[in-house]
Structure 1
């Protein structure tokens, strides 16, 4: 019997300069399927950090096109593919695979982008993007199965007309946390891990430091991650007169990232929307609780409010929650313990088990 074959079409991969947590999820699932005997190809955009074609951990990567033309190359690849399943990874914009695929299509959605469209494209183009995501895509893929990474996103998809009975939730796993040398800093330290783009709202973390500077004269913020918004954040820290309190590390390797997390008191995630919150779980694995916005999608699931961190309703509440955890060492440490125990329950093998089950069900559909 021939092995099942899968084509994943995704905007980027993890080696792309703008790659992040959602790309990591896709590749962990692809690698897991390959280990279990699937033939797996990932079609994504080309970039200088990787060759056009290569095989990594049993997964064939085919990189073609740029930010927009990647959709054209992907559509051609889908039309030509002789595979058992196409997995259409919708990062706001679908690949329209349903129009040309000769096999079933499984739609992978990390989160719904309602709030991000206007922030990234402005009011006019933002409305168009939201129309495509909220109206056109659900209609086009109305006979397809969906997969997402949180119950929060599953509910949001249901509000767009994607029946929950068609949607499977497969949570992110968690890479083993490396041993670190760092102990908690003597001075209060916040950490933020993520791509530096507008919708991550890193400015809110900088503003929180500025707001709390009188109460906490030694408070610092460590920002780990790179992105095209970096210069704007430098300017914002200067504008808020906290340049000496904010360290923008840019990209760092995994060991350094975990050292920075491990020495921090608190992890902050002021993003507009996240599908899950990989950095939240990484921080939890180090016993570091998180503060995020309740309305920001999957973070309301990756954080157990009041147990592994706190969820805020708006910026003022965000600052209050940060201040509360800085002041209450006992609460901070107890949340850290609960967070570590919970993080230990997430691993990629378990996630791949569930993902494979969804893939096989889609192939049979």
Structure 2
């Protein structure tokens, strides 16, 4: 059967959350921006994700992308399969009268994938932002962590053994190789840098730090709090803004109180895009103490407004979002992290030069370029029949002579 024309392809994204979800983050931004770029190129795009309590409708459209919300935090995976299979027999929101079944699926694995290659008789692209090896034991108890890691490290590579992979950094591609995924089958499509246009926003008159992101354990915001506590004596006016929301916030507030820095730390909760830009633009230094990031979107967002970042070496894609010694600094451990923050806060010329370089670096990454790369992968993957013999898949992806 001849593949549909590029302009008529329908791409279904399966992701656990959308950007309107209170727990949504950088991976959700990536999915929706890429989906919107595909729409701009003539494709149709549908995102199926979990429902949430933010008052979002079961079905809506944003930037031309149709968004279906089904199931909850743990049931969205099953609901996705049921919605797809219902569409296969002409029922539900993927039936012919609602736009028809997809020509290709993009299965987003945030630790747990949707395993759609088991039931979707369509080509599947497996999108993996990063490998969660270190995060499972931090987020879950011992036995659940072991199960999650088994799914991610053993089951998923076998389920998607005939699929094209996409990730957002070379670091994740290397980690996927340790799970048995051939690097030649993994394409790197970076995040674009969001529009960070902002009016004249002066830097704060006194030393200031900002952390932006979800407040969950593996983001390690405690490291930022410790940096403030250790540097407060040297920099009396030092403050930290923690922008974002999450279930770990109460614990972080307790840590700030224990360290005696409650008066120096401001928790903003959710911030709008405009507020985010202003916070990043006014801060002296941005901090990304996360245990692991697929890319490090907040690093390039800060860089786009001339703010350098301190992050941890070996934390995944942050080593590509940030160029050590040019656009920010990478630390080897918590003590080194504090030392790198001190270095940037106390050397005005060094910090300013690094901010200028960070702005140039962030400008290299655009969503149109990323969208073009992803669209090429969609076209190639859509021409590989589902359940094709391994040899045919390898030839299609250029893995054999």
- Distance in 1 of aligned mates of 2:37 and 2:118: 28
Unaligned runs of 5+ in 1: none
Q: Is 1:142 the equivalent of 2:142?
A: no
Within the candidate set 75, 85, 94, 2:81 is matched to 75
The answer as to whether partners of 1:78 and 1:86 remain within 8 angstroms in 2 is no
- Residue in structure 2 matching 1:328, options 341, 344, 347: 347
1:51 is the counterpart of 2:57: yes
Does the Cα contact within 8 Å between 1:312 and 1:321 map onto a contact in 2? yes
C-alpha distance in structure 2 between counterparts of 1:360 and 1:51, whole Å: 31
1:60 aligns with 2:79: no
Alignment pair present for 1:11 and 2:30: no
Bigger radius of gyration among the two: 2
Task: Give the corresponding residue for 2:315.
Answer: 296
Distance in 1 (CA, whole Å) between partners of 2:143 and 2:286 is: 35
Classify the secondary structure of the residue corresponding to 1:115. Answer: coil
2:141 partner SS: helix
Q: Kindly state the Cα deviation for residue 182 of structure 1 after the two structures are TM-superposed.
A: 1.9
Comparing 171-180 and 59-68, the one that deviates more: 171-180
How far apart are 1:181 and its partner, in Å?
3.0
Deviations 1:286-344, CA, capped at 9 Å, x for gaps: 11110001121110110001110111111111111111111221111111111111111
Residues 108 and 148 in structure 1, CA contact (< 8 A), matched pair in contact too: yes
- Pick from 68, 87, 102 the counterpart of residue 106 of structure 2: 87
Matched with 2:195 is: 176
Kindly indicate whether residue 50 of structure 2 is the aligned counterpart of residue 31 of structure 1. Answer: no
Query: Quick one: distance in 2 between partners of 1:318 and 1:78?
Result: 46
RMSD: 1.1
Instruction: Give matches, 1:231-310, under 5 Å.
Output: 231-310=250-329
Residue 42 (structure 1) aligned with residue 61 (structure 2): no
Q: Which runs of 5+ in 2 are unaligned?
A: 89-100, 385-401
The runs of 4+ residues in structure 1 deviating greater than 6 Å are none
Alignment: residue pair count: 365
TM-score of the pair, normalised by structure 2: 0.89
State the Cα distance separating 1:345 from its structure 2 match.
1.6
CA deviations 1:6-64 (Å, max 9, x no partner) are 11100000001101110000000111111211121111001133100112221111100
